[in-house]
A and B are shown apart, each in its own frame.
Chain A
């Protein structure tokens, strides 16, 4: 009897916690569907009754949004590409070869991965400005790729190590060249790892704010997070069209949420390492 009551109480607390954590996300969606006149009224409306997609239409027809979307997509995709190639080679090196300095290399990667962007961005700003690469998609991409590669190598090494070398060797005994054996046998087995790493790089580059704030100083070079920031800045001094801001945030967040759910478990196991045996 007592256990039954505590189970109900636990259930109620758990549902309340779920409500708290999901609420901001819900509030974003709800506000994005409501017209600004409703949002500016004194009583909040908790359900998007009488809502529409007008706010989304307004965002999509905003030239500044389209421009920021272009910059964000270019930087993100380039980061994913560079990061996958560089990290794949690095992961291959540390999981297939035993070489002198291997341990220090891994140690350095893990330490670098912990370095805060805030401890380096002033110097990165000076460096980019000295080579005239402020506001350059390529410049930001290089900074992002370097920030993401260490953890990606760490994530990928498990996948590479998971493919037995014997499989590749057997294929070569059967007459395939090393390249062919790699492409036909190893690569397909690595695909899930590459997808997970690619999505991880995508999320990091798409969401990044700090470094972009420092290096992308001009309006036409703004990424989506920087563009969203301009609404927050504007809200300090004047009434904001919150419906449109929430629609914009939703557009930025939705691809992230979908991708995130795909790789979440792999990312966590990379971070907590051997502390949790899955």
Chain B
């Protein structure tokens, strides 16, 4: 449907008499060009978000699944959510997980980037290839490997721990919420560090060697050089990757869902994404699920705003 909508444009261009004067393009043509995008976005995203907004103000549970008309209940869903202790636990857990994952990712990425700057070219290349491999892995494929690594029967992790003298024989790390989230944190950080490290490294390459050498000759210590020369130059990259990580780690879903599948206790390990999935597809409480979704979208737009504005600055 979208393809049919978009094909007429070149044909129209060809037939227009003014088409040979590209320096004065008619505005309507630009509108025609963005029409397919708008139709697609309204259809696949706009309509669902609108439905969600309406439904979040409705009683929409199992009865409505079987045909009863939904009833408007004002802010009742939101009130129910905000007075539900369990929701606050999930929200707090999501925010904590997001903060921890983003901070570890940016810290490790920063350290690896500094390391890449110091080491010999060949070592740097090996590290870059390793990071790219990890980054390229499709998330579900990497999750099968991680589940196999931490498998309680034959996983490599427990074998190594036993060799190190830890009593881990047959221990299931996913069964306890705390070790479940430590495992998830390791996996998420492992997968996110490559993007951050390589982006920061690209920023570091803008710092001239001469400047660092001059500073060293003037007696600046390693920490002073990092603090006064390196950090100011890469501050923009650092803040952008931090923002992106916060946004991405707040929505983490696949890793949590698959670790739950592999044996985690679902009820004690929900983050926002899996909580919405459970409420909506799992229990059919679409009113509540919509309210959480709307809250999640609001939080994301709030955090994204600064990022989007900074991207817009280069687009005059």
Interface string of B284-316 (1 = CB under 8 A from A): 001001100110110011001101101111110
Residues of B within 8 A of A190 (CB): none
Q: For B133, give its contact among A165, A235, A257 (CB under 8 Å).
A: A257
Count, A-B residue pairs, CB within 8 A: 356
Residues of A within 8 A of B290 (CB): 122-123
Do the beta carbons of B51 and A100 come within 8 Å of each other? no
Do the beta carbons of A229 and B112 come within 8 Å of each other? no
Main SS class of interface, B: helix
Residues of A within 8 A of B308 (CB): 107, 110-111, 114
Do the beta carbons of A229 and B253 come within 8 Å of each other? no
Q: Taking A112-B45, A225-B138 as contacts, is the C-beta distance between A120 and B33 under 8 angstroms?
A: no
Residue of B nearest to A214 (CB): B281
Residues of B within 8 A of A107 (CB): 308, 312
Do the beta carbons of A178 and B25 come within 8 Å of each other? no
Main SS class of interface, A: helix
Asked whether any CB of chain A lies closer than 8 Å to the CB of B185, the reply is: no
Residues of A within 8 A of B227 (CB): none
Residues of B within 8 A of A85 (CB): 2-3, 6-7, 36
CA distance in complex: A153, B37 (Å): 9
Interface string of A172-183 (1 = CB under 8 A from B): 100001110000
Do the beta carbons of A249 and B123 come within 8 Å of each other? no
Q: Taking A118-B273, A127-B47, A210-B254 as contacts, is the C-beta distance between A165 and B23 under 8 angstroms?
A: yes
Do the beta carbons of B144 and A231 come within 8 Å of each other? yes
A18 CB to nearest chain B CB (Å): 4
Asked whether any CB of chain B lies closer than 8 Å to the CB of A87, the reply is: yes
CA distance in complex: A90, B48 (Å): 22
With A90-B36, A172-B20 given, name 6 new contacts (CB 8 A): A86-B37, A109-B37, A146-B43, A178-B13, A256-B137, A276-B203
Query: Which residues of A are interface residues toward B (Cβ below 8 A)?
Result: 6-7, 10-11, 13-15, 17-22, 24-25, 27-28, 31, 39-40, 42-44, 81-82, 85-87, 89-90, 92-94, 96-97, 99-100, 102-103, 105-107, 109-112, 114-127, 142-143, 145-147, 149-150, 153, 165, 168-169, 172, 177-179, 206-207, 209-210, 213-214, 224-225, 228-229, 231-233, 235-236, 239-240, 242, 245-246, 248-250, 252-253, 256-257, 260-261, 264, 268, 271-278
